[in-house]
Amino acid sequence: MLVAFSGGVDSTLLLKVAKDVLGEKVLAVTADSATTARHERNDAANTAKAMGVEHLVVNSSELEIAEFVANPPDKCYVCKKSRFGDLVSLAGNRGLPFVVDGENADDLDDFRPGSLAARELGVRSPLREAGLTKREIRSLSKKLGLPTWNRPAYACLASRIPYGSPITEEKLRQIDAAEEFVRGLVPKTQVRVRHHGDIARIEVQPARIPGLSKATVRNKVVEYIHKLGFMFVTLDLEGYTMGSLNRGVEKER
């Protein structure tokens, strides 16, 4: 099988089990573009190498698709239709009958149009099909000694830009740099920097808010994010919420 591999918690467990069961009949493929955080590329390459799995990095061209750049609510459908279409073709050329991704049972609770594109193309989601939740995946990963068991969840950088606001490489670079900086000051926490034009809205796990609010830390964050081009820097007191920009869309569904 071909595993769509981000290097995150879910796809790492999936790749580990695929390797254990299928041996050399596994190919890990990471799609790379401006929507991918730098640390994700490194994590994916290092993890696949440590497992002894063949790993390919392929360029993803969603920023060349006008419909994706316009950032409609179903942009993930547009992106995944393109990405998974390429992976299905690659798998066919390599004689691999299955393409799989790391979607899990909890993902059903969020607005994920990309899942529809995956299913339309015949991509399977073994973790979701097995009914495994994120908590269970972390528990299994810990038992298997995977370094990802307590790693914060990954997500496409474009998910930080409100629907209707065009996706640009400049915005994605700002987001990536801002999140990398915050992670360096408040390690092992979920970090999202939502891009609201001149405003950078930082989300971290609620327990981490006091640490980020300390004057010495706060001043460093404000200074750095201002240098990235944001006029205002805010800290969301509600804390990190998966898919927080989907709230308006969910009300319309």
Last residue of a domain, one of 85, 109, 143: 143
CA distances from 55 to 44, 91, 184, 193, 215 (A): 9, 13, 28, 30, 43
* Domains contained in the chain, number: 2
Sign of CA dihedral 142, 144, 146, 151: negative
121 lies in the same domain as 195: no
Give the pLDDT confidence score for residue 242 in this predicted structure. Answer: 75
Please report whether residue 83 resides in a domain: yes
Check if the beta carbon of residue 72 is closer than 8 Å to that of residue 167.
Answer: no
**C-alpha distances in Å from residue 164, one per residue of 11, 75, 245:** 30, 10, 11
Characterize 14-51 residue by residue with b for buried, 16 or more Cβ atoms within 10 angstroms of its Cβ, and e for exposed.
bbbbbbeeeeeebbbbbbebbbbbeebeebbbebbeeb
Residues 6+ away with beta carbon under 8 Å from 191? 152, 179, 182, 183, 202, 203, 204, 240
Same domain, 53 and 85: yes
pLDDT value of residue 95: 96
What domain range includes position 135?
2-143
Q: Are residues 221 and 138 in the same domain?
A: no
What's residue 153's pLDDT? Answer: 86
Q: Is 117 in the same domain as 200?
A: no
Q: Do residue 12 and residue 117 come from a single domain?
A: yes
Final residue belonging to a domain, choices 143, 175, 192? 143
d(CA 189, CA 11): 19
150 within a domain of the structure (yes/no): no
Last residue of a domain, one of 85, 116, 143: 143
The two structure tokens encoding residue 25: 């009949």
| Amino acid identity, position 146 | L
Residue 148 located in a structural domain? no
pLDDT of residue 129: 96
Q: Is the same domain home to 226 and 112? A: no
**Residue 152 domain-assigned (yes or no):** no
Is residue 107 domain-shared with residue 196, that is, in the same domain? no
- Judge whether 186 and 211 are in contact, CB under 8 Å: yes
The Cα–Cα gap between 68 and 185 comes to 33
One domain, residues 139 and 175: no
The CATH code of the domain that includes 238 is 3.30.70.2210
Same domain, 187 and 238: yes
Give the other-Cβ count within 10 Å of 129's Cβ. Answer: 12
CB 107 within 8 A of CB 115: yes
Identify whether 151 is part of a domain.
no
Largest CA distance in the chain: 57
Quote the distance between the C-alpha of residue 47 and its chain's center: 16
CATH number at residue 52: 3.40.50.620
Provide the residue-wise pLDDT of the chain in tens; the chain has 253 residues: 999 999 999 999 999 999 999 999 999 999 999 999 988 989 999 999 999 999 999 999 999 999 999 999 999 999 999 999 999 999 999 999 999 999 999 988 777 888 999 999 999 999 999 999 999 999 999 999 999 999 988 889 999 999 999 999 999 999 999 999 999 998 888 999 999 999 999 999 999 999 999 999 999 999 999 999 999 999 999 999 876 777 766 544 4
